[in-house]
Structure 1
Amino acid sequence: MTIKVLICDDSALMRSMLKSVVEAQSDMVVVGLAPDPYVARELIKETNPDVLTLDIEMPKMDGLDFLEKIMRLRPMPVVMISTLTAAGSDATIRALELGAVDFVMKPRATDPDALAASTAEIVDKIRTAYRARVGRPRLATSQGKSAASDTSRLPDLPPRVVSERLICIGASTGGTEAIRRVISQFPAQCPPVLMVQHMPEMFTGSFAKRLDSLCAINVKEAEHGERILPGHAYLAPGHSHLLLAKRGSHWYCELSKADPVNRHRPAVDVLFDSVARLVGPAAVGALLTGMGKDGARGMLAMRKAGSWTVAQNEETCVVYGMPREAVSIGGAVDVAPLPDVASRICRELSRGGAAGRQVGA
């Protein structure tokens, strides 16, 4: 297997640096270097690359505009590499909505240490993109919380369910769109939602705000010590693990800067383990698309504690890694395509049961 990579960046120095990084790998080859989207378009036709790395800010055509055209006319795995992924986190969220598999911050040419640190991330994400399932994205539009999204909103849940149950969700590669598809279907009256998406800290705030503009529930970045309320969703900040805490009869968010788990902080396993300990049968858990195994062990702990759990199926995952691990060790009570995950969660909540109390049930 040799991964054919096309590099599109307006900086000649950055194109050279990225070419050196990619071609140092035994399983990769650079098939073209493009200084702008117009050259990249012709090289895509000539070389048929497996993965495109794409800058955001370029002459002649903005990288986001080019990405939108690519995903509409010739869907392919794209990894965004740009300085704007740090300063313009909104642009990065938009790129993921448009269909980019992932992103990395462009290493500074004047900082050899930064380049060395970025090398492993760049090649790892190119390999992940190569294995990703891509297609034409269904884009959300924002016209306020009363506006319809591209998914059907589910009916409000019974008051007792809203006040006594808890939903937790974990995701990684491809997860920004998967999480949006799920929670945009949740009704305004629903139990609290705790979420972990593998994402650097400068992006989680923008992602939470974007979700808030599209959902009936209120979405925010979690803060340490804040009380968890129905009708609200709390996203783990990119710098800390998110855990569930309980004081008296109330639940609270707890943030921790403990060591990464499964190479991640925040880690899905950390959240799921805390929910298993404190909530058990009153919780439901969903594990969505992502590379690796984070969340699988925690989902199994939730199921053993009596929680109902669902894993996204292979056919609708961008990367079928984390859900596959959960299914393989018996952590998932149910397996569902992405469009059905929200309805199955709400159906289980409405039932009021605690399916999955016994592993293997």
Structure 2
Amino acid sequence: MSPIRVLAVDDSALMRNMLSAVVNQQPDMEMVGTAPDAFIARELIKQLNPDVLTLDIDMPRMDGLEFLSRLMRLRPMPVVMISSLTTRGSAATLRALEHGAVDFVPKPEHREEDNIARWSQLVIEKIRIAARARLTPPAPTARPLLAGIRVRQQSIIAIGSSTGGTEALRQVLMPLPVSTPGIVIAQHMPAGFTYSFAQRLDSLCQIAVREAQDGEPVLPGTALIAPGDRHMEIIGQDSGYRIRLSDAPAVNRHRPSVDVLFDSVARQASRHASAAILTGMGGDGARGLLHLRQTGAFTLAQSEATCVVFGMPREAIALGAAKKVVDLGDISQCLLDSFAYKSSPKTDSRR
């Protein structure tokens, strides 16, 4: 198999050298070129035909967002953003994902050997995933609002996602009406980005979207996103639920872990829950989705044709965890319809 051909675009010579060293140490990839700005990158893309591009956001002459937007219109290819952890940087990174970037890697905050080693491993993983990713055209910025449903206090929706999940979640949440059961979400994302991500979704959706806080209630018409680097669970409170956050060890190499969230929803809500597992690499969430289905919850997995990375849904389907496999554009309605089905007196809670 041919090695993955990588081109790094960054105005920092140090970052270009770091990325080159990391990539060239891998047997399955090679750094075919580096560029200090978008104009040189444009010429190198034509000459070198790379498989994956790593792209900085803050660059002279043309910033990474503008270059990415032009690139995805004229020559779509897998792009991994190399992003600052600042508030401005996280907001720009989310816009890059909307423009079609596959994923992102925060720039290392500290230069200690252990931190650089972890960062290097993350870069390699993201490049490998990007090389296999399915590029999807940008979704419309607006979608028709769906009809509301009668919301019961015990009803709840749980969603898990990873690579490609920021855009998938946007498409799922935007059409949902205020009369939607409370939603809890585990999206694999580092600390420092989930707050901006929630703010961005909140500005686009009819429902309220925010980063979850420990102890807060799960309310209808609200989606709560697990903070980066913290597990999120629900616990029973009267006839509803509230959030519990923890710093427990990573599960399936992730914190937040989709399995941790799904298992808690299965224990607390069982047949009152509906759950969806969306695009992402690996198997996090597959066993939790099976647990949910076994307790009577309605479960679905995103279809391969609409996933950026068909990993987590594939694992869930293989386990028999998904009652339905659904295209991304139909997931919102399918989740709402599942509650009408639950309210039917003939419903078999085990399905």
Taking structure 1 as the reference length, the TM-score comes to 0.92
2:229 maps to 1:221:
no
Deviation at 1:64, TM superposition (A): 0.7
Deviation at 1:188, TM superposition (A): 1.1
2:164 maps to 1:174:
yes
Give the Cα–Cα distance (whole angstroms) in 2 for the partners of residues 103 and 303 of structure 1.
32
Q: Which moved more, 1:113-122 or 1:264-273?
A: 113-122
Please, which of 180, 191, 199 is the counterpart of residue 201 of structure 1?
191
1:146 maps to what in 2?
Answer: none
Secondary structure in 2 matching 1:201: coil
2:107 maps to what in 1?
Answer: 106
Residues 113/257 of structure 1: CA separation in 2 closer, same or farther (3 Å cut): closer
Deviation at 1:139, TM superposition (A): 5.2
Deviation at 1:164, TM superposition (A): 3.5
2:269 maps to 1:279:
yes
Asked if the contact 1:8/1:35 (under 8 Å) is kept, the reply is: yes
State how many pairs are aligned: 348
Deviation at 1:288, TM superposition (A): 0.2
Secondary structure in 1 matching 2:296: coil
Matches within 5 A, 1:1-361: 1=1, 2-83=3-84, 88-107=89-108, 111-138=112-139, 140=141, 149=142, 151-158=143-150, 161-352=151-342, 357-358=349-350
Asked if the contact 1:309/1:356 (under 8 Å) is kept, the reply is: no
Deviation at 1:84, TM superposition (A): 5.2
Give the Cα–Cα distance (whole angstroms) in 2 for the partners of residues 132 and 29 of structure 1.
18
Deviation at 1:87, TM superposition (A): 5.7
Asked if the contact 1:212/1:218 (under 8 Å) is kept, the reply is: yes
Amino acid of the structure 1 residue aligned with 2:91: D
Amino acid of the structure 2 residue aligned with 1:90: A
Amino acid of the structure 2 residue aligned with 1:21: V
Deviation at 1:72, TM superposition (A): 1.4
Query: Any idea what the Cα deviations from partners look like across 1:295-323, whole Å, max 9, x if unmatched?
Result: 00000000000000010010100000000
Give the Cα–Cα distance (whole angstroms) in 1 for the partners of residues 59 and 113 of structure 2.
24
Asked if the contact 1:228/1:251 (under 8 Å) is kept, the reply is: yes
Q: Which moved more, 1:30-39 or 1:125-134?
A: 30-39
Amino acid of the structure 1 residue aligned with 2:137: R
Gaps of 5+ in 1: 141-148
Give the Cα–Cα distance (whole angstroms) in 1 for the partners of residues 29 and 269 of structure 2.
46
Q: Percent of pairs identical after alignment? A: 53
Deviation at 1:13, TM superposition (A): 2.3
Give the Cα–Cα distance (whole angstroms) in 1 for the partners of residues 339 and 251 of structure 2.
30
Give the Cα–Cα distance (whole angstroms) in 1 for the partners of residues 68 and 152 of structure 2.
40
Asked if the contact 1:85/1:103 (under 8 Å) is kept, the reply is: no
Q: Which moved more, 1:108-117 or 1:4-13?
A: 108-117
Query: Any idea what the Cα deviations from partners look like across 1:81-115, whole Å, max 9, x if unmatched?
Result: 13356762111111111111111122369544432
Taking structure 2 as the reference length, the TM-score comes to 0.95
